Amino acid sequence: MTGLTCGFIGLGLIGGSIAKALRAAFPNMKIIAYDINQEALSLALREGVVDRAASGIDRSFSHCDYIFLCAPVQRNDGNLDAVRKIMGPNCLLTDVGSVKTPIHEAVHAAGLDHKFIGGHPMAGSERVGYSNSKVTLLENAYYILTPAPAVGAERLEAFRRLVAGMGAIPLVLDCQKHDYITAAISHLPHIVAASLVNLVRDSDSEDGLMKLVAAGGFKDITRIASSSALMWQQICLTNAENISSLLDDYIRCLISFREALDGRCGTALYDAFENARIYRDSFIGASSGPIKRSYDMNVDIADKSGALARITTLLADHGLSIKNIGITHNRESEDGVLRLEFYDGASLQKAAHVLAAAGFAANIR
């Protein structure tokens, strides 16, 4: 990978994280970027992530080996047309959108089939923008590759190695299959989460009791509802057919639950919950997906002065950094009142061992 030049059109959360991962994995790589947010570009330059900030989609990108389209989906068509006019003959073009069929259609119309491999890093955060990008965001996350039919095997393999070099897990799929899969495991869940939050909002009393007591299970299942409304509006509009089809299937599942409830059919309810439990427990516990896995635990502590300080000091003495900390007063579905979040699985496991040895009851979520 020595001597490569990569260009970024858009340097937000995903573009910035890819650029940081490439810089860490390939220190000698040259990185050029353009973003309408000048503060993001200035920060990337100061951090040494970007070698050159372009003033637009111009000849600065003509010598790139790879160009990443990382701007919002609604800007892709315009950016694609601009890139087509300045990209070099041996440059490979890719994107990072979570819906692949529309960009493949646009690439085909632009006559760039032989130069395009669609990309979807299945990692993210509720936060957006370059300031929230992280070098580790892609680690162990699936990075879907959807090559155009005219792309040769050698170019695909070279790009696959580049993706793997960032610590991600490359997976090659047809673009239409990708869109159906992500509609089921990413796009539909956001609709479900948003709908559930809106239901509680509309059903809540004037004094907000539902909001007050909302705890463990509700917060976990609706966490992704905090994501960007504009981004998810665009995703839904670009993958509407697949999402609508799966939404029909989901509505039928909900109706089945309602019928089992109305009929007081315990067997049907048990089977539905048990089948879901078995299938859910078979999932691989890797930190991949549109929203990264959180490494957290709940700890029982005594309600007295110094209890919290003792735990934080104990963890610090063992070299463990706490990413986030909070106190849960409502214990619904939880075994503790203190919630600790760590940066990785190894730290989580070590913290559990340290706390257990000190006599604390820690429950990994």
Greatest extent of the chain over all pairs of C-alpha atoms, in Å: 69
Structure tokens at 135: 């070098």
In the chain, at which residue ranges do the beta strands (DSSP E only) sit? Answer: 5-9, 30-34, 52-53, 66-69, 92-95, 116-121, 142-147, 169-172, 295-299, 322-327, 338-342, 362-364
Q: So what's the pLDDT on residue 171?
A: 94
Give dist(CA 220, CA 250) in Å, integer. 20
What domains are there in the chain, each with its CATH number? 5-175 (3.40.50.720), 178-281 (1.10.3660.10), 295-364 (3.30.2130.10)
Can you name the residues that pair with 32 across neighbouring β-strands? 7, 52
pLDDT mean for each 10 residues of the chain (365 residues): 88 94 94 94 94 92 95 81 91 94 93 95 78 88 94 95 94 95 93 92 88 76 82 89 96 96 95 90 58 71 76 90 72 56 86 88 76
Give dist(CA 345, CA 240) in Å, integer. 36
pTM above 0.85, yes or no: no
Q: Which amino acid is at 93?
A: L
Q: So what's the pLDDT on residue 365?
A: 64
Can you name the residues that pair with 146 across neighbouring β-strands? 118
Q: So what's the pLDDT on residue 173?
A: 95
Q: So what's the pLDDT on residue 328?
A: 60
Write down how long the chain is. Answer: 365
| One-character DSSP codes across 127-181 | S-SGGG--TTTTTT-EEEEEE-TTS-HHHHHHHHHHHHHTT-EEEE--HHHHHHH
Q: So what's the pLDDT on residue 228?
A: 80
Neighbours of 231 (CB within 10 A): 18
